[in-house]
Copies of this chain bind each other. A is one copy, B any other.
Amino acid sequence: MSLDAILKRIDTDLPQALERLKQFMRIASISTDPAYDAQCEAAADWLVADLQSLGIAAEKRATPGQPMVVGHVAGNGPHLLFYGHYDVQPVDPLELWDTDPFDPQIEETAQGRVIRGRGAADDKGQLMTFVEACRACKAETGTLPCSITLFFEGEEESGSPSLIPFLKENAQELRADIALICDTSMVSPGVPSIASQLRGMLKEEFTLQGPRVDLHSGHYGGPALNPLREISRIITSFHDDTGRVAVEGFYEGVDEVPEDQLRQWENCGFDEQAYLGAVGMTRPHGEIGYSALVQQWARPTLEINGLWGGYQGAGTKTVIPAQAHCKLTCRLVGDMDPSAVRARLRAHVEARVPVDARIIWNNDLDGSPAAVMNTDRPEFDLARAALSDEWHREAVLAGMGGSIPIAGYFKEILGLDSMLIGFGHDDDAIHSPNEKYNVESFHKGARSWARILHSLARG
């Protein structure tokens, strides 16, 4: 049977597959910083070349931002659109990395071998699990079991500004039966997981402008409005003492998780103490009365992602700065409307601005609603069975705390349902120093996709 041969080939090819991933990860494709534009181009070129080496007709497509990569393989069976992103997060604070983020290393750890470096998990390692599955199919059978369109973007970490126009302009070309996305984690190590719901996201950034100029705290300390103190007060006002967001109307569109869903989640293998303990926490710090799992999957948040003002260098500077700055994101669930949340958040802030200060909003940041997957489609059962075979453990339908707006765009623009399957671990440190991806995730991820393709082809 050809599936066994394909799986066997994935096993024997693993050292070469890891070398290919290392090559890919050496390209510093940080999309949010224009200084790395050439590296983003290089990462797209690397993907095109790698797909072409498999005999897949792939090309780089220019956009006003980072290029897209699109490849097609005609075949029998259903038509699948596979999505991933080749861009990565910034690496600051660089001093907290134990190795060069762009010189990936294979390391032995207590949890097995890992590949360490920026993009290992998010998303280069994950997207390559699918490419490696395709490579093994082609090598072993000369073809793929399904029609496949591969679609990679390079702006996922910078808000995907070119994505919607590109989808609209190329809707015909990108049409398929279902989209597959590999950019998520497993609920718990070794528990294969398919996303049933994703949180949405609203991005905001504001500056509190106080005095006309930076002031000397001897000359003006006392009478002067201090923007750092005022922005702290505003940030503190965002939550009440129970951890609930105190912005009026914030929870509009949020429903409690149904009892049967809660019971399912309780049995999905999520280990709260391990999840918290991995990052040095002993208890969940979100809304009182909800488990860590529910706080992460089914409750909205308002998180400060960046806060700064005044002097940050060595020693002391007796300054009262003119400005303080804040970046924040809200994770959205249920039917929360990003625009409505933005309006309520801004009203909350504006109502708390003192005399002699004003707020300057960044109006270039977007938002996307939460998404619920169409898990009644037959592909979900087929994929669950394939995953269960590979991992020797029943695959689960899990909530996800992250926001992957692409699923919403695929539905809206291409009319496509999405199935999100990923092999990340909670301790992968994506978006953080020392990002890694377990070699087991990479290896069994590729095997999982081979099984899923085989299974979807047979229907």
Tell me the nearest residue of chain B to A432, going by C-beta.
B214
Give per-residue flags for A19-44: 1 if the beta carbon is below 8 A from chain B beta carbons, else 0: 00000000000001100000000000
Tell me the nearest residue of chain B to A404, going by C-beta.
B218
Contact of A203 among B33, B281, B316, B325 (CB under 8 A): B316
Stretch of A109-117, A220-228, A341-349 lying at the B interface: A220-228
The verdict on A314 contacting B33 (CB below 8 Å), with A232-B232, A239-B229, A356-B280 known, is yes
B222 touches A286 (CB 8 A): yes
Q: Does A284 sit at the interface, judged by CB under 8 A? A: yes
Chain B residues near A203: list those with CB within 8 A.
316
* Interchain CA distance A325-B310 in the complex, whole Å: 11
Q: Does A426 sit at the interface, judged by CB under 8 A? A: yes
Q: Does A304 sit at the interface, judged by CB under 8 A? A: yes
**Minimal beta-carbon separation of A155 from chain B (angstroms):** 10
Chain B residues near A76: list those with CB within 8 A.
none
B282 touches A355 (CB 8 A): yes
Q: Does A1 sit at the interface, judged by CB under 8 A? A: no
Q: Does A296 sit at the interface, judged by CB under 8 A? A: yes
Q: Does A257 sit at the interface, judged by CB under 8 A? A: no
A318 touches B217 (CB 8 A): no
Q: Does A212 sit at the interface, judged by CB under 8 A? A: yes
A213 touches B310 (CB 8 A): no
Q: Does A106 sit at the interface, judged by CB under 8 A? A: no
Interface of A is mostly: loop
Give per-residue flags for A80-100: 1 if the beta carbon is below 8 A from chain B beta carbons, else 0: 000000000110110010000
B295 touches A317 (CB 8 A): no
* Interchain CA distance A212-B228 in the complex, whole Å: 26
B221 touches A331 (CB 8 A): yes
**Minimal beta-carbon separation of A450 from chain B (angstroms):** 27
Chain B residues near A308: list those with CB within 8 A.
307-310, 312
Within 8 A of B (CB), among A333-368: 354-356, 365
Q: Does A71 sit at the interface, judged by CB under 8 A? A: no
Q: Does A292 sit at the interface, judged by CB under 8 A? A: yes
A159 touches B316 (CB 8 A): yes
Q: Does A329 sit at the interface, judged by CB under 8 A? A: yes
A219 touches B401 (CB 8 A): yes
Chain B residues near A220: list those with CB within 8 A.
279, 296, 401, 426
Q: Does A3 sit at the interface, judged by CB under 8 A? A: no
Contact of A312 among B231, B301, B325 (CB under 8 A): B325
**Minimal beta-carbon separation of A311 from chain B (angstroms):** 4
Q: Does A378 sit at the interface, judged by CB under 8 A? A: no
Chain B residues near A306: list those with CB within 8 A.
228, 309-312, 317, 319, 321
Tell me the nearest residue of chain B to A199, going by C-beta.
B218
Q: Does A448 sit at the interface, judged by CB under 8 A? A: no
A281 touches B235 (CB 8 A): no
Contact of A285 among B96, B223, B295, B319 (CB under 8 A): B223
**Minimal beta-carbon separation of A398 from chain B (angstroms):** 12
Chain B residues near A314: list those with CB within 8 A.
32-33
A292 touches B402 (CB 8 A): no
Chain B residues near A329: list those with CB within 8 A.
217, 221, 316, 318
Tell me the nearest residue of chain B to A280, going by C-beta.
B212
* Interchain CA distance A386-B175 in the complex, whole Å: 89
* Interchain CA distance A301-B216 in the complex, whole Å: 13
Chain B residues near A276: list those with CB within 8 A.
223
Within 8 A of B (CB), among A98-124: none
**Minimal beta-carbon separation of A427 from chain B (angstroms):** 9
Contact of A212 among B92, B212, B279, B401 (CB under 8 A): B279
Most chain B beta-carbon neighbours within 10 Å: one of A223, A286, A305, A431: A223
Interface residues of A (CB under 8 A from B): 32-33, 89-90, 92-93, 96, 158-159, 185, 199, 201, 203, 205, 210-226, 228-229, 231-233, 235-236, 238-239, 275-276, 278-287, 292, 295-296, 299, 301, 303-321, 324-325, 327, 329, 331, 354-356, 365, 400-403, 426, 429-434
Shortest beta-carbon contacts, A-B, top 4: A218-B402, A222-B295, A212-B280, A214-B432
A-B contacts, 30 listed (Cβ < 8 Å) = A32-B314, A32-B315, A32-B316, A33-B313, A89-B317, A212-B278, A212-B280, A213-B432, A215-B432, A216-B402, A217-B305, A217-B329, A219-B296, A219-B402, A221-B303, A222-B292, A223-B286, A224-B279, A224-B285, A224-B286, A228-B307, A231-B232, A232-B304, A233-B236, A236-B236, A305-B310, A305-B317, A306-B310, A308-B310, A317-B327
